[in-house]
A and B are shown apart, each in its own frame.
Chain A
């Protein structure tokens, strides 16, 4: 039997705290943040070629599972992270908005690729010029389409946000104000 070298296994480091024989004390928001960041359930909203690139990101070579996000949720009610990948036509806008509204707090949004971020090459009457016109976005990934490495980088940025945010972001006045700007209850 081959032995796996201990140094090759990477485990998420524990948050700063006080450790003693038989106990470990830390702040609840640090513990919750760590747990949330490493168990994201993404909802893939893939409409075009960025979706293909996302499939590569999920597959074994790049393997999003290494970041604790291998469980995709195809119901918005269970998802934490909405990944919008591809061109969103104006007719698709209300659908995307409804998906976002159905997600439970805490929720994050990642816009992958030029089209989701700004409309991309489709500067035309039928295409939404960036999803941030209808829903708030946390992280943008540039590229047309972005490489899986960039997607992983975007996911890590989201993880950083999730880890460091207060556990009840939804109660903050800034957050409420931002949702009110988008007319989202």
Chain B
């Protein structure tokens, strides 16, 4: 069934968007589509309104950071769900960290509002058209995006982590 879902959704997307759909493949039991960043909003809207596909539930949305993938360091992953038939797919977009601008999908899913704010907070991805793009979890005066891999996880102000005392 999953294989047929991959071809059903893949064919529909290809006829609608052509070269905008970069790749489609099965990863474990999940059909995954990599699409062009600029058309992501239209793709999500198409999948929502198409009568047979009807992906009307956004399970989650998450940002990705692969610093070694030059030119396409950052990404966003969307998981969509059809609640009537219990189908699910994953969409991915990749883009350069010098230009981290992505169209918002809040016009389709209001629930994406806080998810996109979280990814802005942690990865610095700018969702163009978002109604209220500001930090949601970290302190307002934080001046970096802590989940980007160039930043250390540690706070960096600890004084008691002296290796001489712990024999590391």
Measuring CB to CB, which residues of chain A are less than 8 angstroms from any residue of chain B?
90-91, 118-119, 123-127, 129
Contacts and interface: CB of A to CB of B under 8 A. Distances in A.
Contacts of B160: 118
Contacts of B153: 123-125
Interface in B132-168: 137-139, 142, 146, 151, 153-155, 157-158, 160-161
A90 B158 CA distance: 14
**In the complex, the 8 A-B pairs of residues with the closest C-beta atoms, listed nearest first:** A125-B146, A123-B154, A90-B139, A91-B139, A129-B155, A129-B158, A118-B160, A129-B157
Contacts of B138: 90-91, 125-126
Interface residues of B, number: 13
Given A90-B139, A124-B153, A126-B138, A118 B158 contact: yes
Contacts of A118: 158, 160
- Per DSSP, are chain B's interface residues mostly helix, strand or loop, or mixed? loop
A123 B139 contact: no
9 contacts: A91-B137, A91-B138, A91-B139, A123-B153, A124-B155, A125-B153, A125-B155, A127-B155, A129-B158
A91 B141 CA distance: 10
Interface of B: 137-139, 142, 146, 151, 153-155, 157-158, 160-161
A91 B155 CA distance: 14
Contacts of A90: 138-139
A127 B151 CA distance: 16
Contacts of A129: 155, 157-158
A46 B19 CA distance: 56
A90 B140 CA distance: 10
Contacts of A126: 137-138, 146
B12 to A, nearest CB: 42
Contacts of B158: 118-119, 123, 129
A123 B65 CA distance: 22
Contact of A123 (B137, B142, B146, B155): B155
A128 to B, nearest CB: 9
A119 B155 contact: yes
Contacts of A119: 155, 158
A118 B155 CA distance: 12
A84 B154 CA distance: 23
Contacts of B137: 91, 126
